[in-house]
C-alpha cells in the first residue's frame, strides 16, 4: 500500500514538467509578459490550495502548518535574508507537512507511539511533499525547505542526513519552528503540552545536536 503511494511521485515528475515548461515558454516569449504580477499572485493561491487540501485531509496538521509558517516567518525576519527568502520560508512553513497527505490514516491518527515500521513510513513525508511541488514553477525554490525540514544539525535527521550549514537555512528555521509548535500544542500523539518557556528550554537542550544555535537564540530573543 505504501509502495503504491510512493509510485505517485514519479508519475507527477513525468507529466507536470511538460505543462509548466509550456507556461514558462509562453512567458519567455512575452506572450503573457504583462501577467508576471498575476503569476506571482498565483503562487500564493497555489499555496492556499495546497493548504486547503491538507486541511481536508487533517485539520490539526493544517493548523500546525499555518502556525509554523507565521513563526518561521518571524524568525526568518531576524536574519540577514532578502524579503523573497523570508517569503519562501513562510510558504515552506505552510507546505512543510504537505506530504502527510500520503501517510496512511492509521499511522497519522495513531494515539500512541509509532512502531519502527510505522516510523519508516512517517519519515517519508518530507520527500512525498517535496516531490508533490518540485515541478511547480512558483514552488521549486520552496522544495528543498520542505524536503529537509527534519534534518538535524549533527546529521542524525532525515531524509538525507544533511548536517550543519549544508542544511538550507530555511529548513533549519523550520525545524525549530515546527518543534516549538508541536511541543506547545496538543497533538493526538502528545497529550501533554509545554508552556513557551518550557518549550524553549526543551529545544535549547538540543542546540548543536538537533538545532542551529543561531536559530534557537533568535527564538529565545523573540519570547524574551
Binding site for Fe ion (CB under 5 A): 97
Q: How far is the CB of 34 from Fe ion (least distance, A)?
A: 39
Q: How far is the CB of 6 from Fe ion (least distance, A)?
A: 17
Name, in order, each residue with C-beta under 8 angstroms of 144's C-beta and a sequence gap of 6 or more.
130, 168, 170, 171
Query: Nearest-CB residue to Fe ion?
Result: 97
When the beta carbons of 97 and 181 are compared against Fe ion, the nearer one is 97
When the beta carbons of 136 and 148 are compared against Fe ion, the nearer one is 148
When the beta carbons of 97 and 212 are compared against Fe ion, the nearer one is 97
Q: How far is the CB of 15 from Fe ion (least distance, A)?
A: 26
d(CA 61, CA 91): 15
Q: How far is the CB of 143 from Fe ion (least distance, A)?
A: 14
- Whether the bond between 192 and the residue before it is cis, its omega within 30 degrees of 0, is no
d(CA 9, CA 15): 10
Q: How far is the CB of 112 from Fe ion (least distance, A)?
A: 19
When the beta carbons of 97 and 151 are compared against Fe ion, the nearer one is 97
When the beta carbons of 137 and 179 are compared against Fe ion, the nearer one is 179
d(CA 164, CA 171): 11
d(CA 58, CA 45): 20
How many CA atoms lie less than 13 Å away from 120 in the CB half-sphere? 6
C-alpha cell, 213: 544555535
Name, in order, each residue with C-beta under 8 angstroms of 199's C-beta and a sequence gap of 6 or more.
179, 180, 183, 184
Amino acid at each position: 500500500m505504501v509502495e503504491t503511494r510512493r509510485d505517485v511521485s514519479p508519475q507527477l515528475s513525468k507529466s507536470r514538467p511538460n505543462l509548466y515548461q509550456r507556461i514558462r515558454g509562453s512567458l519567455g516569449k512575452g506572450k503573457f509578459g504583462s501577467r508576471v504580477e498575476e503569476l506571482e499572485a498565483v503562487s500564493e493561491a497555489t499555496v492556499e490550495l495546497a493548504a486547503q487540501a491538507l486541511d481536508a485531509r487533517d485539520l490539526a496538521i493544517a493548523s500546525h502548518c499555518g502556525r509554523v509558517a507565521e513563526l518561521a516567518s518571524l524568525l526568518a525576519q531576524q536574519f540577514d535574508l532578502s524579503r523573497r527568502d523570508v517569503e519562501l520560508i513562510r510558504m515552506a512553513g505552510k507546505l512543510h507537512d504537505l506530504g502527510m497527505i500520503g501517510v496512511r490514516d492509521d499511522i497519522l491518527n495513531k494515539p500512541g507511539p509509532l512502531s519502527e515500521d510505522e516510523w519508516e513510513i512517517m519519515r517519508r513525508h518530507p520527500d512525498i511533499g517535496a516531490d508533490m511541488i518540485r515541478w511547480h514553477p512558483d514552488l521549486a525554490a520552496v522544495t528543498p525547505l520542505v524536503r529537509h525540514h527534519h534534518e538535524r544539525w549533527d546529521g542524525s535527521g532525515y531524509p538525507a542526513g544533511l548536517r550543519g550549514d549544508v542544511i538550507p537555512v530555511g529548513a533549519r528555521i523550520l525545524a525549530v519552528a515546527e518543534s516549538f509548535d508541536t511541543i506547545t500544542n496538543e497533538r493526538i500523539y502528545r497529550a501533554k503540552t509545554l508552556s513557551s518557556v518550557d518549550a524553549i528550554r526543551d529545544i535549547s537542550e538540543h542546540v548543536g545536536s538537533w538545532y542551529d544555535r543561531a536559530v534557537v537564540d533568535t527564538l529565545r530573543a523573540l519570547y524574551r
